[in-house]
Structure 1
Amino acid sequence: MQFKKGSGVTAKWAAALALVCGAVGLGMPAHAKTPEYTIAIITHAAPGDTFWDIVRKGAEAAAKNDHVRLIYMASPDASKQAQLVVNAVEQHVSGIALTLAHPDAMRAAVKQAQAAHIPVVGFNAGTGQWKAMGLLGYAGQDEMVAGEAVGERLNDEGAKNVLCVNQEQGAVQLEARCDGIKKTFKGKFAVLYVNENNMADVQSRMVAKLQQDPAIDYVVTLGAPYAVTAVRAIGMAGSKAVVGTFDMSPTAIRMIAKGTKLKWAIDQQPYVEGYEAVDMLWLNLTNGDTVGGGRPVLTGPSFVTQENAAMVAKYAERGTR
């Protein structure tokens, strides 16, 4: 509001306006400061696996937005991962988000967290186990459904002899991927187990298998780093096979975009998994919310092919896809 200079009512109106503004200010609640919570993320990540870098970025983004302190811990050894959960309980964290690649090994640690009244959610691994273990929610891909989608795609592409390369025997989410493919794929199917901690051995075992069975026309890997290795192994073995993979990396996306032997990747959106894991805990801690209505919050699957790789690549290059 403007007043003419020298107006006799200016001072009166200004004083009245100040009183009104003051009254409005007193009537409005002050912006509540978000409580300081500490959330632990505990995964089965292997050292050097770039997939988990993306998960961690999503978790860190959610922690920043929700104003919580984040502790990130990981071990590919199931017993050590369980011990990390126990360590988090002993640190009296506010909430725990974890992966259930090996549910039986994690069961006792999860019960200890629950006994301490610490909310626990699952993500990434354990789609079929999280609910029975009493977790509050789950964010991730239904790996059986994803595997079934891959099997159907292989049928559509005319594949006859498929090799599924599993880098961690016994991990429930990886076993489900191969099982899903086997369920819907109509041709010959085999699983090759390799050691995720020795990429040179992974490559040599792939080469040997491809030489042993020259009829293999499709190799499906369960992680992007293994897809790149599979392409090299195919060249070394003189095979005509092509590759599809679960999960992505900037290198894999570039290879798909260029039309190499790597034809597609299944994206489960690990950034979203990490983000949702933290956010679900924050909602529960601050408002008593649970998410999903007793069902998992699905983050995939979707196929990334040469047709849409360029769009996805810009996000992959910044480390969020």
Structure 2
Amino acid sequence: MKAVNKLTIFILVAILLLAACTSEQDLISQNKGNQTTETSTEPLGNQTGSKEIPAKLKKPIKIAVITQLSIGTFSSQYISGVQSQVKEFGGEVQVYNADNDLSKMASYIDTAVSQKVDGILLDHGRADALTPSVKKAVAAGIPVVAFDSDLNIPGVTVIDQDDYSLAWNTLRTLAQDLNGKGNIVYIWVGGFTPMERRNVIYEAFKQRYPNMKEIAKFGNATSNTALDTQAQMEAILAKYPNKGDIDAVFAPWDEFAKGATRAIQQAGRTEIKVYGIDLSDEDLQLMQQKNSPWVATTATDPAEVGKIQVRFLYQKIAGEPTPQIYSIQPHLVEKQTIPNKQVSMNQLDQHIEGWGKSNVAYTPWMKTLAEEVKKK
């Protein structure tokens, strides 16, 4: 019998789970009470700890933020969240964008180590390319917190958006809206840990709903991903010109969703619905347009993701325990639940329960630190 690798096992398990789901409840988000501390979406942190600022944080610290690829408003809002939280704590941030070059990303980590920064934040990246450099940082006593990465190094905290839940929430909504039957276009690109995870659920989704037919698949990550996607989607629309040829588009990245949405709008084919992942102010405005085919997306607040990552790093610098992995709870955002008036990301909490507000990785001394910084 041929050996079955771990990914195959996971896919098979996911297929069985999805196939067994006959209720309308989210498989991945249910039974939250049974989650372990490492994967809990409940607030972490020593809420009753000391209010005294740790000795290591009584002086401003320097943080390096190293990103695999910085494209679109989601990335910019994530970086903004990082910068605002560090500023609140009186620190300094240097951002390095590797432009989707993993060797450059590893080199930036080495640079940060040689510069003896106080902490390193990683945005995406793959373990096969980054592990040696990250281990150098750990060996040098520099704390590391990664976002949406497959790193598995003792002492390195990795946070993510629970990509399996992201994909299932959106795909479940798509299937329900189409009554389990329809022709779909799938926009996807490999080489990114979150995209690979979302694809696992998509493959299981196709097994769960055999009457959902994928008629086209494409996708690239470039410096103009949304624009390139729009052009590719226009070609797909030309190939399938009739109403009913395409029922929906699954775009597991907001840059893909933006491009597909604009192509569909310009072609006047708004009977085709777009289902995405991730959300930003630009995305939200596009969804709220009267003729927008973008009807649903599952997301976390990118700015809040950045803030949580910073707080975990500060906890590490303070010598406090942090989890090896932490998944941030995502939320389904549907066009029909948003009022007709323009709503920004900062106002979504008024319409989506639990959006963008958490005390994850919060310790009481952080409030004291922020107050001290304000006085200066």
Query: What TM-score range do you get, normalising by the shorter chain?
Result: 0.7 to 0.9
Contact 1:140–1:298 (CA<8 Å) still a contact in 2?
Answer: yes
Distance 1:201 1:54, change over 3 A: closer
Alpha-carbon displacement from aligned partner over 1:154-176 (angstroms, at most 9, x marks no partner): 1111152222212x431121122
Contact 2:82–2:307 (CA<8 Å) still a contact in 1?
Answer: yes
| Mapping for residues 105-116 of structure 1, pairs under 5 Å | 105-116=129-140
Alpha-carbon displacement from aligned partner over 1:40-93 (angstroms, at most 9, x marks no partner): 11112335x221111111111221222222222222221111111111111101
Question: 2:120 pairs with 74, 96, 115, which one?
Answer: 96
| Mapping for residues 121-160 of structure 1, pairs under 5 Å | 121-123=145-147, 125-126=148-149, 129-130=150-151, 132-158=152-178, 160=182
Which one scores higher on RCO, CA 8 angstroms, separation ≥ 6?
2
Question: 2:198 pairs with 169, 173, 177, which one?
Answer: 177
Tell me what 1:211 maps to: 238
Counterpart CA distance in 2 for 1:311 and 1:115 is 52
Tell me what 1:253 maps to: 284
Q: Is 2:262 aligned against 1:232?
A: yes
Aligned length: 284
Report the secondary structure of 2:337's partner residue. coil
Unaligned ranges ≥5, structure 2: 1-51, 349-354, 357-376
Q: Whose radius of gyration is greater, 1 or 2?
A: 1
Tell me what 1:315 maps to: 345
Report the secondary structure of 2:336's partner residue. coil
Q: Give the deviation of 1:261 after TM superposition.
A: 0.8
Tell me what 2:28 maps to: none
Tell me what 1:188 maps to: 213
Counterpart CA distance in 2 for 1:31 and 1:108 is 30
- Which one-letter code corresponds to 1:306 in the other structure? Q
Contact 1:121–1:135 (CA<8 Å) still a contact in 2?
Answer: no
Distance 1:137 1:55, change over 3 A: same
Q: Is 2:149 aligned against 1:163?
A: no
Contact 2:170–2:276 (CA<8 Å) still a contact in 1?
Answer: no
Identity within the alignment, %: 24
- Which one-letter code corresponds to 2:300 in the other structure? Q
TM-score (ref. length: structure 2): 0.67
- Which one-letter code corresponds to 1:154 in the other structure? L
Counterpart CA distance in 1 for 2:168 and 2:258 is 23
Unaligned ranges ≥5, structure 1: 1-28
Q: Give the deviation of 1:135 after TM superposition.
A: 4.6
Question: 1:241 pairs with 266, 269, 272, which one?
Answer: 272
Contact 1:140–1:300 (CA<8 Å) still a contact in 2?
Answer: no
RMSD of the TM alignment (CA)? 2.9
Q: Give the deviation of 1:235 after TM superposition.
A: 4.4
- Which one-letter code corresponds to 1:278 in the other structure? V
Contact 1:139–1:299 (CA<8 Å) still a contact in 2?
Answer: no
- Which one-letter code corresponds to 2:219 in the other structure? Y
Counterpart CA distance in 2 for 1:309 and 1:299 is 23
Deviates more, 1:78-87 or 1:239-248: 239-248
Report the secondary structure of 1:306's partner residue. helix
Contact 1:39–1:68 (CA<8 Å) still a contact in 2?
Answer: yes
Q: Give the deviation of 1:178 after TM superposition.
A: 3.0
Alpha-carbon displacement from aligned partner over 1:87-126 (angstroms, at most 9, x marks no partner): 1111101111102332211122111211212111111x12
Report the secondary structure of 1:46's partner residue. coil
